Amino acid sequence: MIAKPINPEWLQRFLELQGFKIKKVGDWFMTNCPFHQDDTPSFGVHIYDGGYNCFTCHKSGSFLNLIDELKLNINILPDIDAPTKKDYERIKQLKNKNVTKPVLYKKTFIIFSRIKLKRENLIYNYALSRGINEKTIERLNIGYNTSELYSKRLVIPVYNNVGKLLWFEGRAIKKNIAPKYWRPAGSPVHETLYNYHKIRDKSYVIVVEGILDSILLDQWNFSSVCCFGSKLHIDQLIQLINFEKVYLCFDGDKAGIQAFREVKKKIKGDKSSYFFRIPMPMNKDIGDLNRKEFLYQFNQKKII
């Protein structure tokens, strides 16, 4: 069933009347997230169906959910025409090209190779600047995509626990590109641990916030997964109980410290004896360290 489309002009005006400062990015109206403290716009409302997704706290839902959650004033409505036939055709095209369907998306997904590196040199150089080497780029199928949604983004495939492609994560290569991470709305991010399918048989795992941090640890021959943010959700936590030791390595900021506290509340009894905390320097993450520096932090681990 195709969601009923919304006139983008009407939607933008409606959001502005509700007090949101809107910036159009691709097929999204971006603004600061109303569900968490947000200094940079990370909250997107889709311009054709009004569905929303925060690319930081991962709060998501339909347009009706948004109205209900935020108690928006539906008595203040823009005086703009209803959706046109063109709007309906556009949303049909978007639904048919849903990037959560790997078979369709693979047609335009270009994997880095020695031959094609120069085609997107800016993105390739960004990967290198983050410490990711060419061997890792090719081994993990990191690449780029020419579509508007993934423009100027490092594109990383995300798989489920048995290695089936779920979605492509797009990481902005510049600070002024919002949101920092882009993924298709509805991606099962709260149930997924990046790289889990590769390390599920290992005796230990290091859990980090960011996907690039996990990639670096993988490159340094550590067994690692990413939980896509500073919160470890219960469905992700359940997947960790099969490891003999779990090392939590969240960023050295307030959100990271709070994440440790929340995990400590969730685990009880014998489980707590194999959960460890790897402390990070203040306001630093793994991307700020080299392998030797991370190993030093790893050796400072303590049972949480």
The CA distance from 66 to 100, in Å, is: 22
- Single out the residue of 223, 226, 225, 218 nearest to residue 135, CA to CA: 218
pLDDT for the residue 120:
59
166 lies in the same domain as 123? yes
**pLDDT value for 138:** 82
- The pLDDT score that the predictor gives to residue 93 is 54
CATH classification at residue 154: 3.90.980.10
Q: Which domain holds residue 79?
A: 8-96
Asked whether residue 125 is assigned to any structural domain, the reply reads yes
If asked whether residues 216 and 260 sit together in one domain, one would say yes
Within this chain, do residues 167 and 205 fall inside the same structural domain, yes or no?
A: no
- Give the model's pLDDT for residue 226: 97
Strands 43-46 and 52-54: antiparallel
For residue 271, the model assigns a pLDDT of 58
Residue 91 lies in a domain: yes
Residue 113 backbone class (left: φ over 0; alpha: ψ -120 to 50; beta: rest) = beta
| Residue of 65, 63, 81 whose CA lies nearest to 15 | 63
What is the bridge-based pairing of β-strands 181-182 and 165-172?
A: antiparallel
CATH of the domain at 17: 3.90.580
Number of domains in the chain: 3
Sort residue 54 into left (φ over 0), alpha (ψ -120 to 50) or beta. beta
Provide the pLDDT for residue 115. 35
Counting as low any pLDDT under 50, the low residues of the chain are 1-4, 81-83, 87-88, 90-92, 94-118
Q: What is the pLDDT of residue 77?
A: 59
- pLDDT computed for residue 264 by the predictor: 84
Is residue 239 situated within a structural domain? yes
pLDDT at residue 109, rounded to an integer: 41
Cis peptide before 179 (omega within 30 of 0): yes
User: In this predicted structure, what is the pLDDT of residue 89?
Assistant: 55
Same domain, 46 and 75: yes
The pLDDT value recorded for residue 288 is 94
Quote the pTM value.
Answer: 0.64
Q: What percent of the chain has pLDDT over 90?
A: 32
The answer to whether residue 68 sits within a structural domain is yes
In a domain, 3, yes or no: no
Confidence (pLDDT) at 82: 47
Q: Are residues 29 and 116 in the same domain?
A: no
